[in-house]
C-alpha cells in the first residue's frame, strides 16, 4: 500500500539525513521525498511517499517518531487529504506534435511555460498518479526531460499538523 | 560572570554532570580539552591504549552503575576507532556521551589532516549526535546530550566539537533542567492497558514472564521480583536481562533462546499468556518468528520504546512506559483487588515445567585429564560466592558464563548482547572496576576475544585495577568452530588459533600476575589464589580447556524454540 507520511522536524543541519538514513538503514522504500521550511523558520515540513504492509508502515512511523529532531509524524493517507506534485516536462515539439501536445497539456490542465522552435516545457501540478498518466499519454519518443518535485500533501479541513 | 574557553566549558559541564571518569585518548583536535582537564582534578581521566576501549570502558562503567559513561577522543581516526564502541552501546541501549574533537570549523570539508565526517559516520549508531558550530551553544548541547543519553530508551550521544570552538570564549551558563519540544519520552503506562494486562495474567492457564535488558536499564528489578513472586509465575531473563530476577530462585527457569534452557524455551513456546518486559523478541531469543507465532498465545509487552513493540512479533496488549512505573501500577491493581491466579491451574503448569526442568539440560560430562569450560565457570561462581561483577567477550565462553554463573542481582553481568562485539570484556571490566572499587570484577573471555583489546592490560596496570581475567583457552574460535562442526561438515575454516602468545608471560610483561591451569584439579586452587592471595592484583588465568566442548542446548538459526539440540553427553 502507498502511504504519504508527513513529518514536522527541527530545521537543523543533518535532520534530513537522519530521516533518509533511517529509510535506507532499515530497508524501507522511498518513492518521493520533499522538504522545505515552514512559516516558522525553525521547522521543516517533510513529505515522504512510501509503500509497505501495515506492519511496515507502523514501524516507519514509530521509527521516525524516535528520531530526536522529529516533532510530529502523520500518515496523511489514513484520512481525507490532498496531494500535489509539480512536474516540468521538456518535450520535442515540431510539426503536428505541437498542436497535439498543446491539446494534451490543456486536457490535463497543464501550462506550456517555455516555447522554442523545437521544444516545449510543460508545467503540470497534480497528484502523482495524474502525472504518471500524463507521461503515459505522451509519445515517449517526444519526452526529452522529466523533472518532478515529489509529492506534497496536506490533510483536509480541520486535520492540522502543527506544533 | 567570567569568560571561559570552550574547552573549559566542556570540562565544567562534566563536573556539573558529576562525571567521575572520562575514558579517552588525546590528539591534535582535543589538545585544548586535555589542557583544561589538566588544570582541574574533579574529573579523572583514564588513558586507554586504543579509542575503542575508551568507549567500551565508559560503557562498562554505565552498565555497572546508573551513570552516563563518558569518552573523549580526537578527530579522524580517534572518532572512527570509537565507532565499534558506540555501535555496541547503541545496540544495548547504554547511556553514553562521546566527545570527539573535530578539525577547526573553517577546515571542515577541506579534507584536512585527521578530518572525517564524524556526525555522518556515527549517525546510524547513535541515539543522537551534534556538531557544535558556536561556543555559545556548547553548554546547552552538553546538557541536551546527557539528558537524551539517559532518558527514555537510553543510548549513546556523540558531540563533535571543532578545535576552534574549544578555544573560543563565552560566558558559562548551565541550565538546570531542559525541555525539548521534539523529545518527550513517555513514562507512565496507559492505565486501561495495564488493567487489561492484569486481567489477562489472572486468567492465564500457562503464564510466562520474559524480561530483557530494559528491566536492568530502568532499575526495575525490585518491582519485577515483587510482581513475579506475587503472581508465582515462571520467569526467564534474556542474556541482557540476567540478574533482574534472582537466578537462584525456584521460579527462574534460566535463559531463553538459542542457548537457553529446555524449561525456559518450552515455557516460552507453550505458554498461553506471555508477559514481555523490556525485551525485544530478538532472533537469538525467540528463534524463527513464524514458528513462534504459529502457537496461540496472548502477549503483553511493556517497553519504553514504542518501536520495540510489535516489531518482530505482533502483541495483543502493548504498554508503552517506564518499566518500574508500569510494574508498580500492576502490583497496585493486584493488591487492591486482592486478586491472584488460580492456584490449582498454576500448579498443573508448574508440574509440566518441572518435568522439563528434570531433563537437566545443562549437565555436561567432566573429563579426567582436560578442563571442561563449564566447570571453570561453576567453580568461579563458588569461589566468588556469586557476588562478582562478571564481564564477558563474545563467543562460547560468553554463553557458558551466562548459563553457569547465577546472577542474583542486576548490573553484575556485562556483555555485548546486541552487536556481539569481541573485545569488550577487558575494557568493560576496567569501567566496572573503577566505578565499583569494592567489588570483585571478573572478565570471562577466550583466547580469540581477549586479543582484540589486549593492549588494555597496560591501562589496567596504570590504574591498578584488580581485574581477574578468566581465559577459556581452547585454541579455537570456539563458537565459529561449533557452527562449522554442526553445519559445515567439520571444515574448520580459519577458526583454529595458531601461534598464540604465552599468556602468562604476556600478563607478566605488562606487570601483572599470570597463571596457567591445565588440569581439572588445579582449577579451584588457581581461582582461590587469584581471588584471595592476589586480591589486589590483576590476575590473568589461562585455562587450557577442552577443544571440542560445545554450547548446549542449541536452537539452530532459523529454527523454532522447541527444536533444541541437546548435549551429546546425555
Taking the Cβ of residue A71 and every Cβ of chain B, the question of whether any pair is shorter than 8 Å is answered with: yes
Which position has the grid cell 556485562?
B414
Cα–Cα distance measured from residue B539 to residue B328, given in angstroms and rounded to the nearest whole number: 43
For residue range B389-404, what is the model confidence (pLDDT) as tens digits? 999 999 999 999 999 9
CB B105 within 8 A of CB B160: no
Q: Does B179 touch chain A (CB under 8 A)?
A: no
Does A42 lie at the interface with B, CB-CB under 8 angstroms? no
Per cent of chain A over pLDDT 70 is 100
The string of pLDDT tens digits covering residues B519-563 is 999 999 999 999 999 999 999 999 999 999 999 999 999 999 999
Q: Which of A14, A25, A69 sits opposite B182 (nearest CB)?
A: A69
Question: Can you list the positions of beta strands (E) in B103-155?
Answer: 128-131
Chain B residues in contact with A58 (beta carbon < 8 A): 310
Q: Is the pLDDT of residue B187 over 90?
A: no
Q: How many residues does chain B have?
A: 570
The predicted complex's ipTM stands at: 0.93
Asked if B276 and B299 touch (Cβ cutoff 8 Å), the reply is yes
Question: Would you call B40 an interface residue with chain A, using a CB distance cutoff of 8 Å?
Answer: no
Q: What is the DSSP letter of B181?
A: T
- Window 389-408 of B: residues touching A by CB (8 A cutoff) are none
Using an 8 Å Cβ cutoff, are A3 and A75 in contact?
Answer: yes
Name, in order, each residue with C-beta under 8 angstroms of B121's C-beta and a sequence gap of 6 or more.
B79, B80, B83
Retrieve residue B489's grid coordinates.
561438515
Note the pTM of the prediction, 2 decimals.
0.96
Of B55, B42, B115, B119, nearest to B85 by C-alpha is B55
Which whole number is the average pLDDT over B106-129?
A: 97
Identify which of A10, A21, A58 has the shortest CB distance to residue B123: A21
B122 interaction partners in chain A (CB closer than 8 Å)? none
pLDDT, one tens digit per residue, over B306-328 is 999 999 999 999 999 999 999 99
Q: Are strands B298-303 and B235-237 parallel, antiparallel or unpaired?
A: unpaired
Partner-chain contact B307 A163, CB within 8 Å: no
Residue B119: closest C-alpha in chain A: A14
Q: Residues B470-481: what's their mean pLDDT?
A: 97
| Closest chain A residue by Cα to residue B312 | A55
From chain B, pick out residues whose CB is under 8 angstroms from the CB of A13: 131, 133
Q: What single DSSP character describes residue B566?
A: P
Closest CA to B56 of B29, B34, B24: B24
Closest CA to B256 of B274, B229, B230: B274
Interface list for B 123-152 with A (CB within 8 A): 123-124, 127-129, 131, 133, 148
The C-alpha cell at B371 is 578442563
For B153, nearest residue in chain A (alpha carbons): A66
Residue B319, SS3 per DSSP: strand
B536: exposed, middle or buried (Cβ count in 10 Å: 0-12, 13-18, 19+): exposed
Using a CB-CB distance cutoff of 8 angstroms, which residues of chain A are in contact with residue B182?
A: 9-10, 68-71
| Cβ proximity of B301 and B318 under 8 Å | yes
Nearest CA in chain B to A20: B124
Strand order in the sheet with A70-75: A32-37, A43-51, A2-10, A70-75
A153 φ/ψ angles, rounded to the nearest 5 degrees: -145, 160
Question: Is B305 in Cβ contact with A68 (below 8 Å)?
Answer: no
CB B276 within 8 A of CB B283: no
Mean pLDDT over each residue of chain B, to the nearest integer: 97
Average pLDDT, integer, range B424-438: 98
Residues of chain A with Cβ-Cβ distance to B123 below 8 Å are 14, 17-18, 21
pLDDT for position A10: 96
For residue B1, give the C-alpha cell.
560572570
Residues of B with catalytic annotation? 51, 113-114, 163, 479
| pLDDT value of residue B340 | 85
Mapping DSSP onto H, E and C, the string for B214-254 reads HHHHCCCHHHHHHHHHHHCCCEEECHHHCCCCCCCCCCECC
- pLDDT band for B169, please (50, 70, 90 cuts): very high
CA neighbours within 13 Å on the CB side: how many for B250? Answer: 6
- The three cell numbers of residue B544 are 587450557
Write the DSSP assignment of B423-485 as a string of letters: T-HHHHHHHHHHH-TTS-EEEEEETTGGGGSTTHHHHHHHTT---EEEEEE-SB-HHHHHHHH
Residue B103: pLDDT over 80: yes
pLDDT in tens, A26-75: 999 999 999 999 999 999 999 999 999 999 999 999 999 999 999 999 99
> For B13-53, what is each residue's pLDDT tens digit?
999 999 999 999 999 999 999 999 999 999 999 999 999 99
pLDDT at A64: 97
* pLDDT at residue B569, rounded to an integer: 58
pLDDT at B498: 92
CB contact under 8 A, B148 and A68: yes
Q: How far does CA B438 lie from the centroid of its chain?
A: 21
Could you write out the three-class secondary structure of chain A?
A: CEEEEEEEEECCCCHHHHHHHHHHHCCCCCCEEEEEECCCCCEEEEEEEEECCHHHHHHHHHHHHHCCCEEEEEEHHHCCEEEEEEEEEEEECCCCHHHHHHHHHHHCCCEEEEECCCEEEEEEEECHHHHHHHHHHCCHHHEEEEEECCCEEEECCCCCCCC
In this complex, is the C-beta atom of A17 within 8 Å of any C-beta atom belonging to chain B? Answer: yes
- Taking the CA of residue B276 and the nearest CA in chain A, the distance in Å comes to 19
Query: Is B310 close to A68, i.e. CB distance below 8 A?
Result: no
Range scoring the smallest mean pLDDT among A117-121, B219-223, B293-297, B409-413: B293-297
Q: CA of B373, closest CA in chain A: separation in Å?
A: 38
Within 8 A of B305 by CB-CB distance, chain A residues are 66
User: A40 CB near a chain B CB, below 8 Å?
Assistant: no
What are the tens digits of pLDDT across the range B77-102? 999 999 999 999 999 999 999 999 99
Would an 8 Å CB–CB cutoff place A26 in contact with chain B? no
Measure CA A81 to chain center. 14
Residues of A whose CB is below 8 A from B148 = 68
pLDDT of residue B1: 66
Residues of chain A found within 8 Å of residue B307, distances taken between Cβ atoms: 59, 62-63, 65-66
The alpha carbon of residue B131 is apart from the nearest alpha carbon of chain A, in Å, by: 9
Out of B119, B123, B307, the one facing A59 most closely (by C-beta) is B307
Q: Establish if B119 touches chain A: CB-CB under 8 angstroms.
A: yes
- Count Cβ–Cβ pairs < 8 Å, chain A vs chain B: 40
For residues B73 and B27, the answer to whether their CB atoms sit within 8 Å is yes
- Put simply, whether B307 touches A (Cβ < 8 Å) is yes
Q: Which positions in chain A touch B124 (Cβ < 8 Å)?
A: 21, 25
Cβ contacts of A66 on chain B, cutoff 8 Å: 305-307
Instruction: Assess A163–B contact: CB distance below 8 Å, yes or no.
Output: yes
To the nearest whole angstrom, how far is the Cα of B91 from the nearest Cα of chain A?
14
For residue B152, give the chain A residue with the closest CA: A66
Contact B131 A17 (CB under 8 A): no
| Residue B2 confidence (pLDDT) | 83
Nearest to A59 among B124, B180, B311 (CB): B311
Q: Do B307 and A9 touch (CB under 8 A)?
A: no
Is A62 in Cβ contact with B124 (below 8 Å)?
A: no
Q: Do residue A66 and residue B307 have CB atoms under 8 angstroms apart?
A: yes
Determine contact, residues B122/B89, Cβ cutoff 8 Å. Answer: no
Give Cα separations from B565 to B232, B266, B285, B358, B551 (angstroms). Answer: 29, 13, 15, 16, 10
User: Does the structure show a pLDDT above 70 at B570?
Assistant: no
Q: Could A58 and B310 be called an inter-chain contact, meaning their C-beta atoms sit closer than 8 Å?
A: yes
d(CA B337, CA B334): 5
Chain centroid, CA B83 distance in Å: 17
Residues from chain B that touch A65, judged by Cβ atoms under 8 A, are 306-307
How far CA B30 is from CA of B27, B75, B76, B130, in Å, comes to 6, 8, 11, 16
Please give the pLDDT value at position B205: 97
Q: How confident is the model at residue B218 (pLDDT cuts 50, 70, 90)?
A: very high
Dist CA B225 CA B528 (whole Å)? 32
Amino acid at each position: 500500500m502507498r502511504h504519504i507520511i508527513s513529518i514536522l522536524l527541527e530545521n537543523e543541519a543533518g535532520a534530513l539525513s537522519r530521516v533518509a538514513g533511517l529509510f535506507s538503514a532499515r530497508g524501507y522504500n522511498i518513492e518521493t521525498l520533499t522538504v522545505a521550511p515552514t512559516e516558522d523558520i525553525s521547522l521543516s515540513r517533510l513529505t515522504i511517499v512510501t509503500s509497505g504492509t501495515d506492519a511496515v508502515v507502523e514501524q516507519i512511523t514509530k521509527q521516525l517518531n524516535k528520531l530526536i529532531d522529529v516533532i510530529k509524524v502523520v500518515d496523511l493517507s489514513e484520512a481525507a487529504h490532498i496531494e500535489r506534485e509539480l512536474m516540468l516536462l521538456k518535450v520535442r515539439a515540431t510539426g503536428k506534435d505541437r498542436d497535439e501536445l498543446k491539446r494534451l497539456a490543456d486536457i490535463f490542465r497543464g501550462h506550456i511555460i517555455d516555447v522554442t522552435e523545437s521544444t516545449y516545457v510543460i508545467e503540470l501540478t497534480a497528484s502523482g498518479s495524474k502525472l504518471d498518466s500524463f507521461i503515459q499519454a505522451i509519445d515517449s519518443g517526444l519526452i526529452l526531460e522529466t523533472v518532478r518535485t515529489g509529492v506534497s500533501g496536506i490533510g483536509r479541513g480541520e486535520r492540522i499538523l502543527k506544533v | 560572570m567570567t569568560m571561559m574557553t570552550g574547552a573549559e566549558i566542556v570540562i565544567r559541564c562534566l563536573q556539573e554532570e558529576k562525571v567521575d571518569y572520562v575514558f579517552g585518548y588525546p590528539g591534535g583536535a582535543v589538545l585544548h580539552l586535555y589542557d583544561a582537564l589538566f588544570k582541574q582534578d574533579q574529573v579523572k581521566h583514564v588513558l586507554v591504549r586504543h579509542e575503542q576501549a575508551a568507549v567500551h570502558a565508559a560503557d562498562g562503567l554505565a552498565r555497572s552503575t546508573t551513570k552516563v559513561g563518558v569518552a573523549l577522543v580526537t578527530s579522524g581516526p580517534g572518532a572512527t576507532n570509537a565507532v565499534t564502541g558506540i555501535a555496541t552501546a547503541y545496540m544495548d541501549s547504554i547511556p553514553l556521551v562521546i566527545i570527539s574533537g573535530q578539525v577547526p570549523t573553517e577546515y571542515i570539508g577541506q579534507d584536512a589532516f585527521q578530518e572525517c565526517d564524524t556526525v555522518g559516520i556515527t549517525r546510524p549508531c547513535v541515539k543522537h549526535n551534534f556538531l557544535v558550530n558556536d561556543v555559545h551553544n556548547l553548554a546547552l548541547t552538553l546538557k541536551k546530550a546527557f539528558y537524551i543519553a539517559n532518558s527514555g530508551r537510553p543510548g549513546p550521544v556523540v558531540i563533535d566539537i571543532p578545535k576552534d570552538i574549544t578555544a573560543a570564549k563565552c560566558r558559562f551558563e548551565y541550565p538546570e533542567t531542559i525541555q525539548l519540544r521534539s523529545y518527550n519520552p513517555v513514562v507512565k503506562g496507559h492505565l486501561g492497558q495495564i488493567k487489561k494486562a492484569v486481567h489477562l495474567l489472572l486468567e492465564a492457564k500457562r503464564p510466562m514472564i520474559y524480561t530483557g535488558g530494559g528491566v536492568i536499564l530502568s532499575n526495575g528489578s525490585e518491582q519485577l521480583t515483587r510482581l513475579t513472586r506475587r503472581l508465582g509465575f515462571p520467569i526467564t531473563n534474556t542474556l541482557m536481562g540476567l540478574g533482574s530476577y534472582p537466578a537462584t530462585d525456584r521460579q527462574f527457569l534460566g535463559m531463553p533462546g538459542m542457548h537457553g534452557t529446555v524449561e525456559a524455551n518450552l515455557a516460552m513456546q507453550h505458554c498461553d499468556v506471555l508477559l514481555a518486559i523490556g525485551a525485544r523478541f530478538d532472533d537469538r531469543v525467540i528463534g524463527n518468528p513464524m514458528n513462534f507465532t504459529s502457537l496461540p498465545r496472548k502477549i503483553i509487552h511493556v517497553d519504553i520504546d514504542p518501536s520495540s513493540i510489535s516489531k518482530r512479533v505482533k502483541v495483543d496488549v502493548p504498554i508503552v512506559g517506564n518499566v518500574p512505573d508500569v510494574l508498580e501500577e500492576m502490583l497496585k491493581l493486584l493488591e487492591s483487588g486482592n486478586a491472584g491466579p488460580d492456584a490449582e491451574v498454576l500448579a498443573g503448569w508448574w508440574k509440566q515445567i518441572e518435568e522439563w526442568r528434570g531433563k537437566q539440560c545443562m549437565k555436561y560430562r567432566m573429563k579426567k585429564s582436560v578442563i571442561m569450560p563449564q566447570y571453570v565457570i561453576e567453580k568461579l561462581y563458588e569461589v566468588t560466592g556469586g557476588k562478582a561483577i562478571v564481564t564477558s567477550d563474545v563467543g562460547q565462553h560468553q554463553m557458558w558464563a551466562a548459563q553457569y554463573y547465577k546472577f542474583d542481582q542486576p548490573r553484575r553481568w556485562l556483555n555485548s548482547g546486541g552487536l556481539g562485539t569481541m573485545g569488550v570484556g577487558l575494557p568493560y571490566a576496567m569501567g566496572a572496576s573503577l566505578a565499583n572499587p569494592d567489588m570483585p570484577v571478573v572478565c570471562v573471555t577466550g583466547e580469540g576475544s581477549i586479543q582484540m583489546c589486549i593492549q588494555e592490560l597496560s591501562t589496567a596496570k596504570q590504574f591498578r585495577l584488580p581485574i581477574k581475567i578468566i581465559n577459556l583457552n581452547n585454541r579455537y574460535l570456539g563458537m565459529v568452530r561449533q557452527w562449522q562442526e554442526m553445519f559445515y561438515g567439520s571444515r574448520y575454516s580459519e577458526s583454529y588459533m595458531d601461534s598464540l602468545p604465552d599468556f602468562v608471560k604476556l600478563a607478566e610483561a605488562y606487570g601483572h600476575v599470570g597463571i596457567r591451569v591445565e588440569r581439572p584439579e588445579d582449577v579451584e586452587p588457581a581461582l582461590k589464589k587469584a581471588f584471595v592471595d592476589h586480591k589486589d592484583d590483576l590476575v590473568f588465568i589461562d585455562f587450557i580447556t577442552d577443544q571440542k566442548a560445545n554450547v548446549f542446548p542449541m536452537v539452530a538459526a532459523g529454527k523454532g524454540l522447541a527444536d533444541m539440540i541437546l548435549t551429546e553427553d546425555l
